[in-house]
Structure 1
Amino acid sequence: GRVKFLMGSDPTGKVARTYGVYSEESGVAFRGRFIIDPDGVIQAYEVVNLSMGRNVNELIRQIKALQYIREHPDEVTPAQWEPGKPTIKPSIKISGKVGDQIPKGSYSYW
């Protein structure tokens, strides 16, 4: 299905300058995307050069992960997390042993 999200237009470059993605030298904005939570706080951002494509699936994965951790503030999502995959409960006790929290085979890298 389609994902609904707000997009903005910045014909003067004011917003791009504010977020630091405007190149004064070339007069254009780099490809930047910012995930801003309902409280107006930037939770994630990515800036790439004008010639590089972006991964929409990764953007959607990040949005889902941010929504999940907003609803479950006592958990964190590992790299490549997707809904239904195991999460981690942070603790000083797991320092250096994060892998023990993730069942083997849950992720391609583990």
Structure 2
Amino acid sequence: MISFQVGEWVSGTSMEDERIRGYIEEIEASIDQATIRVIESDRQEAVGEIVRSRLRQLKKLPVESAQSVGELMDLIDLALATRDKEWFDDLSLRLIHIQQKEQNDTKNIQLGVV
């Protein structure tokens, strides 16, 4: 059996049989269930909501180190909606680094530096 932790990113199926992707907010191992904050779903109304899933219906997602500005902005919105200051601060720093890198890359292209 795969071991999960609060805060891990997962994909799978909710108890209502909807495809979900999100992060674990709570685990109740004794009843094989987790509470997931949904960031993507085949049911649009579930996005941003909390759903329940059986642990055996979940799969861990790899941690992505490089994300686009658009993806980070979506996650920042979610961090604000969930009032998760630590996550918001982390995402904001990552966004600033990506934007600075893009600005430097653009300047280098304009100057002809490769």
| Fold-level similarity (TM above 0.5) | no
- Give the number of the structure whose residues are more often helix, by fraction: 2
TM band (smaller chain)? under 0.3
In terms of fraction of residues, the more strand-rich structure is: 2
TM-score (norm 2): 0.25
Q: TM-score, normalised by structure 1?
A: 0.26
